[in-house]
Structure 1
Amino acid sequence: MAEVHFITHPEVAIDPSVPVPDWPLSARGLARTRAMLARPRVAGIGAVFSSTERKATDMAAILAAHLDLGFTQVAALGENDRSATGYLVREEFEATADEFFARPGHSVRGWERAVDAQARIVAAVEAVLAQAPPGNVAVVAHGGVGALLLCHLKRVPISRAEDQPGEGGGNLFTFDRASRALLHGWRRIED
């Protein structure tokens, strides 16, 4: 059975003066990514795809190099578009994200609507799987769109209840490539 691992980038170096898509992984994020490489599931990955955002490409590059593979960047795997607000302090970001999930058909503060981001991430993952070679695939992306994809796979309404646990990212869920059946929900990348 071939598996798809949807992996979210771990902690980033937050810099309000730098556009959010350009933030790199932090020292902790890099360490967690390297710790992930020792997990047995990693050895079976035969293709790596990534969002074009720096934090995701940083992680994908480390994973692909470990596997002696290249990786393919796909813009549609990006996080929900929040460029209308740019950087928000944590409390303001969390409140806006809560509203994003609670009102999926509305543009909250100019953000991409959750229903649109969900349709985009589902289509992007389907396109990735259509072009990937047979076998296990890693998709390195982001928590918000990951939650939206997980809602789709579980056939539940959009809800922040499906958001990744913890703070800072660095989680994954796995589904069967052929049937799209969820094999397990969110887990920390190093577990």
Structure 2
Amino acid sequence: MMGGAVVHLYLTHPQVRIDPAVPVPLWSLSQEGRARVEGLARAPWVRRFGRIVASEEAKAREAAEVLGVALGLPVEVRPGLHENDRSATGFLPPKEFEAVAEAFFARSDESVRGWETARAAQARVLGAVRGVLAEVPTTPTLFVGHGAVGTLLKCALAGRAISRREDQPAGGGNHLGFTAGPDAVLWDWRPMEEGPWGGSRPDESP
């Protein structure tokens, strides 16, 4: 706990195998991404979490399962935590994807090229997270999900406007800490290689 509040973690999956022939929700972790999660699973501070909840998408489930095995915890796969729905376009080349992603955040109430709106995705993931926490509010929970909806969640919890300036650093595999109360965001995006204290005290719990 931090100041008496139960601390939860939102972790984004790290690097994936990009395959234009495979639907994005079915992409798996790359070797680099899996190695990063395995490293995180060895960090003592992660053991403070008593519950692991993952998105239905393959890459998030894979990351959660690595952590679950290491921590001796079952992985709960829940609906509503998936990445923003981009099925209208499917895979986009990086330059084109970046342009559409910029518009997604900038025009949060509009469906950009058929994508789920940022506002709708934010309401969905916030509702899913709150629903999970309401079940066992005293258990520190580790969520494993995705970058865009994680950013939208952070904006909602912090009471900030939706903006890509709030997005995680490139490459994924970042975490933020939060509580269920006011001033909910305890620390902003940090690489999974760093603990809650920014790497200076990686072995300690938040």
Q: TM-score, normalized by length of structure 1?
A: 0.96
Q: Which residue of 2 aligns with 1:184?
A: 187
Structure 1 residues 73-112: aligned runs within 5 Å: 73-112=77-116
Once the two structures are TM-superposed, the CA of residue 101 in structure 1 deviates from its matched residue by 0.2
Q: Which residue of 1 aligns with 2:119?
A: 115
Once the two structures are TM-superposed, the CA of residue 180 in structure 1 deviates from its matched residue by 6.0
Q: Structure 2 counterpart of 1:81, which letter?
A: D
Further displaced range: 179-188 or 25-34: 179-188
| 2: CA distance, partners of 1:179 / 1:63 | 29
* Cα RMSD, aligned residues only: 1.2
- 2:177 is the counterpart of 1:165: no
Q: Structure 2 counterpart of 1:187, which letter?
A: R
| 2: CA distance, partners of 1:126 / 1:177 | 8
Q: Which residue of 1 aligns with 2:177?
A: 174
Q: Structure 2 counterpart of 1:106, which letter?
A: E
Q: Structure 1 counterpart of 2:177, which letter?
A: T
Once the two structures are TM-superposed, the CA of residue 136 in structure 1 deviates from its matched residue by 1.1
Work out the percentage of aligned pairs sharing the same amino acid. 48
8 Å Cα contact 2:41/2:71 also seen in 1: no
Q: Which residue of 2 aligns with 1:67?
A: 71
Structure 2 alignment gaps of length 5 or more:
195-206
| 2: CA distance, partners of 1:118 / 1:143 | 12
Secondary structure of 2:188's match?
A: strand
Q: Which residue of 2 aligns with 1:18?
A: 22
Q: Report the count of equivalent residues.
A: 190
| 2: CA distance, partners of 1:74 / 1:60 | 12
8 Å Cα contact 1:36/1:189 also seen in 2: yes
| 2: CA distance, partners of 1:133 / 1:127 | 10
8 Å Cα contact 2:84/2:149 also seen in 1: yes
Q: Which residue of 2 aligns with 1:34?
A: 38
8 Å Cα contact 1:47/1:133 also seen in 2: no
| 1: CA distance, partners of 2:162 / 2:106 | 8
8 Å Cα contact 2:158/2:183 also seen in 1: no
Secondary structure of 1:77's match?
A: coil
Q: TM-score, normalized by length of structure 2?
A: 0.89
Q: Which residue of 1 aligns with 2:8?
A: 4
Once the two structures are TM-superposed, the CA of residue 171 in structure 1 deviates from its matched residue by 0.3
| 2: CA distance, partners of 1:4 / 1:110 | 33
- 2:117 is the counterpart of 1:144: no
8 Å Cα contact 1:175/1:182 also seen in 2: yes
8 Å Cα contact 1:47/1:132 also seen in 2: no
Secondary structure of 1:75's match?
A: coil
